[in-house]
Amino acid sequence: MSVTRRQFLAAASASGASLLAGGAAITAARGERTEGMLKLASQEGRIPGDSLKEKIDRMVEWQMQGIEFGGGGLPDRVDEIEKALEGSGIEVAAICAGFQGCIISDQESERQKCIDTMKPLLEAAGVIGATGVILVPAFHGQTKLSNAEARPILVDLLKQLGEYAVSVRSRVLLEPLNRGECFFLRQLADGAAICRDVDSPGVALMGDFYHMNIEETSDLGAFLSGGQYVHHVHLASRRRVLPGQDERSFVSGFRGLKLIGYQDHCSFECGCDGDPMVEIPKSLDFLRRQWDEATVPVGVADV
C-alpha cells in the first residue's frame, strides 16, 4: 500500500531518510515512473586483452553492458570501434575527455581550443552512440579566474557547445572532481545548477564514486541533487581500486540512482589489486549484490 506524503515525511524525519522524498519528487516532476537500471561498463584500458575485439568478447563473457573509450584519437577509431562492437550487444558508455585547452581559462585562446577540440569528439561520440563526452571545466593551475568570474563564462560557452552537441546527437558531460584535483565544480549539486542555467539537452552531468567519497556528505543525496541531469557514472572504491576491494559501500548511491530512474552506464575508472581476470568478475558480482541491496521503500515513488 502506498504511503501518503504526510506519513512518509513523518517516518523519514524519524529515520533520517528524508532525502528519499527528493527522489520521489524528482520522479514525479519528470512525469514518468522509470525504474533505474544497473548497466555495468568499463573503461577500455581496465579490461584485459590484446585487442579491442578480445576485450569486447571478455566483457560479453562477464555479462557487462558497456565500454567507455578515451577521447584521444577517437575520430580516427570510429570504424574500428563499430566493427569490434558489431553483434556483441555491448554499447558505448561515454567518452572520457580527449579535449585540449580549458573552457574556463583566463586566456580566450585556451577557451576556444577547448571548444574546437570538443566538437570532433562530440561528433564521433554521436556516431558510435555514446551518451556523451566528459568535460572537466578546469584542473588546478589551468585558470586564474575565480569561481564568480568563471561561472558565467562557462554557462555561455556551454550554451554554444550544447547546441552543437544536440546537432550531432551527443552531450557534454560535466564531471565534478575532488578538491585535490580542482577548485571549480566539486559536487553534483553544483553541476546540476550549471546544467539548469545552461538549459540545453546537450549539456548534462556525471558522478564519480571516488570523488563523491571525498566531496559529498551522502551518495544518495548527491544523485538526487543531480537528478535528471545525471547521464554517466564512474565506479571506484575509496582507494580508487575495484569496487569491493575495500570497505566502500555503493548501496546508498545505487539507491539514489534507482530513485532518479537512472538508465545509463556505471563504468569502472579505477585500478585493480591483483589479477584482473579474477578480480573484475568478483567486483561485478559485488556490484550486482549492492544494487539488489539498494531497496527503495514501497510507495516512495507515489509520494
pLDDT score, position 297: 76
Using a pLDDT cut of 70, give the percent of the chain over it.
87
Residue keyed to cell 571545466:
137
- Contacts of residues 286-290 at CB distance under 8 Å and 24 or more positions apart, as own/partner, are 286/243, 286/244, 287/38, 287/40, 287/235, 287/243, 287/244, 287/250, 288/38, 288/40, 290/243, 290/249, 290/250, 290/251, 290/254
Quote the crossing angle between the two packed helices 219-226 and 188-198, to the nearest 10°: 0
pLDDT digits (tens, 9 = 90+) for 87-112: 999 999 999 999 999 999 999 999 99
Band of the pLDDT at 300, cuts 50, 70, 90? low
**Is the pLDDT reported for residue 32 higher than 70?**
no
Band of the pLDDT at 34, cuts 50, 70, 90? confident
How many beta carbons lie within 10 A of that of residue 108, not counting itself? Answer: 9
Give the residue with greater pLDDT, 43 vs 24: 43
pLDDT score, position 33: 52
Q: Quick one: which H or E segment has residue 67?
A: strand 66-70
155, 185 Cβ separation under 8 angstroms? no
Band of the pLDDT at 281, cuts 50, 70, 90? very high
Band of the pLDDT at 298, cuts 50, 70, 90? low
The domain ranges of the chain are 34-294
Which whole number is the average pLDDT over 52-59?
A: 98
**Is the pLDDT reported for residue 9 higher than 60?**
no
pLDDT score, position 69: 98
Band of the pLDDT at 24, cuts 50, 70, 90? very low
pLDDT digits (tens, 9 = 90+) for 243-276: 999 999 999 999 999 999 999 999 999 999 999 9
**Is the pLDDT reported for residue 13 higher than 60?**
no
pLDDT digits (tens, 9 = 90+) for 115-147: 999 999 999 999 999 999 999 999 999 999 999
Please state which architecture CATH assigns to domain 34-294.
Alpha-Beta Barrel (3.20)
pTM (whole model) above 0.75: yes
Band of the pLDDT at 299, cuts 50, 70, 90? low
**Is the pLDDT reported for residue 31 higher than 80?**
no
Band of the pLDDT at 6, cuts 50, 70, 90? very low
Which whole number is the average pLDDT over 208-230?
A: 98
Note the helical H segments in 37-176.
52-61, 78-85, 108-128, 147-167
pLDDT digits (tens, 9 = 90+) for 201-216: 999 999 999 999 999 9
**Is the pLDDT reported for residue 3 higher than 60?**
no
